[in-house]
Structure 1
Amino acid sequence: MKTIFNYTSQTFSAFFLIGVLFSCDSETADNPTGSNPGNNVSEVPIPDGGATSPTSYPGMTLVWEDDFEGNSLDAANWSHEIGTGNNGWGNNELQYYRSQNTSVERGHLIITAKKESFQGSEYTSSRIISMNKQQFRYGRVDIRAVNPRGQGLWPALWMLGSNFPEVGWPRCGEIDIMEMVGGQGRENTVHGTVHWDNNGSRAEFGGSYKIPSGTLADKFHVYSIEWTSNNISWFIDDVKYHEIDTTPAELDEFRRNFFFIMNVAVGGNWPGSPDNSTTFPQHMIVDYIRVFQFD
Structure 2
Amino acid sequence: MASCQSASITEEPLESVLQENLEAPPPTTGEDVFAPDYWDDAELVWSDEFDGTELSQENWKFETGNNGWGNNELQNYQNEGNVEVSNGTLKIIAKKENVDGSMYTSARLNSKKEFTFGKIEIRAKIPEDKGKGIWPALWMLGNNINSVGWPACGEIDIMEYVSYSPNEVHFTIHSTANNHVKGTQITSGPVPLETIEEEFHTYGVLWTDKYMKFYIDTEDNIKLNFLRPNISNSDNWPFSKPFYFLMNIAIGGNWGGLEGVDDSIFPAVMEVDYVRVYQK
Does the alignment reach a TM-score above 0.5? yes
| 1:70 equivalenced with 2:52 (yes/no) | yes
Separation in structure 1 between the aligned mates of residue 202 and residue 189 of structure 2, nearest angstrom: 15
| 1:279 equivalenced with 2:279 (yes/no) | no
| Aligned with 2:93 (options 109, 112, 124) | 112
Identity level (%): 43
CA contact (8 A) 1:4 1:170 kept: no
Separation in structure 2 between the aligned mates of residue 211 and residue 274 of structure 1, nearest angstrom: 22
Q: CA, structure 1 residues 147+154, in 2 after alignment: closer, same or farther (shift >3 Å)?
A: same
Separation in structure 2 between the aligned mates of residue 69 and residue 199 of structure 1, nearest angstrom: 38
1:70 deviation in Å?
1.4
Separation in structure 2 between the aligned mates of residue 253 and residue 65 of structure 1, nearest angstrom: 24
SS of residue paired to 2:186? strand
1:4 deviation in Å?
2.8
Q: How does 1:261-272 map to 2 (within 5 A)?
A: 261-272=246-257
Paired residues, number: 235
What's the counterpart of residue 152 of structure 2? Answer: 171
What's the counterpart of residue 146 of structure 1? Answer: 125
Separation in structure 1 between the aligned mates of residue 269 and residue 160 of structure 2, nearest angstrom: 14
- Give me the CA root mean square deviation: 1.9
Q: How does 1:88-107 map to 2 (within 5 A)?
A: 88-99=68-79, 100-107=81-88
What's the counterpart of residue 177 of structure 2? Answer: 198
Report the residue type matching 1:190 in the other structure.
Answer: V
Q: CA, structure 1 residues 234+199, in 2 after alignment: closer, same or farther (shift >3 Å)?
A: closer
Report the residue type matching 1:76 in the other structure.
Answer: E
Higher share of residues assigned helix:
1
What's the counterpart of residue 143 of structure 2? Answer: 162
Higher relative contact order (CA 8 A, sep 6+): 2
SS of residue paired to 1:89? helix
Separation in structure 1 between the aligned mates of residue 213 and residue 107 of structure 2, nearest angstrom: 28
Q: How does 1:47-58 map to 2 (within 5 A)?
A: 58=40
CA contact (8 A) 2:125 2:272 kept: yes
CA contact (8 A) 1:231 1:243 kept: yes
TM-score between the two structures when normalised by the length of structure 1: 0.75
- Name segments (4+ residues, structure 1) moved above 3 Å: 199-203, 208-212
CA contact (8 A) 1:129 1:260 kept: yes
SS of residue paired to 1:198? coil
| 1:243 equivalenced with 2:225 (yes/no) | yes
What's the counterpart of residue 277 of structure 2? Answer: 291
Q: CA, structure 1 residues 2+231, in 2 after alignment: closer, same or farther (shift >3 Å)?
A: farther
Separation in structure 2 between the aligned mates of residue 210 and residue 246 of structure 1, nearest angstrom: 22
Q: How does 1:3-82 map to 2 (within 5 A)?
A: 3-4=4-5, 58-82=40-64
